[in-house]
Amino acid sequence: MSYAQVAYVPPYSPADGMASFVLRGWDSERLQSQAEGRWLLVENEGNHLVTAGTVVIVCEGPRSVATFRVDEVRVG
């Protein structure tokens, strides 16, 4: 199952860092779960740069609904 929503990377905010983000492979029944994610339309750079250790905040509209800590970034 894939889930497309918006997300941002702190220290940026929804006002200056929000972009479409796709998640898949997580367990919605658990408070903590592994998942795969990627930016849908923007490149992994600038306000949207994700590296190992980065936190990604997933939102529904202006409300934060999930927080993911990145363990690994795959290129390609």
Return the pLDDT at 70: 94
- pLDDT tens-digit profile of 1-58? 788 999 999 999 999 999 999 999 988 888 888 899 999 999 999 999 999 999 999 9
Return the pLDDT at 7: 97
What's the rounded Cα separation, in Å, for the pair 73 and 50?
A: 7
What's the rounded Cα separation, in Å, for the pair 21 and 18?
A: 9
SS (H, E, C) the chain: CEEEEEEECCCCCHHHHCEEEEEECCCCCCCCCCCEEEECCCCCCHHHCCCCCCEEEEEECCEEEEEEECCCCCCC
Return the pLDDT at 59: 94
User: In the chain, where are the structural domains located?
Assistant: 2-69
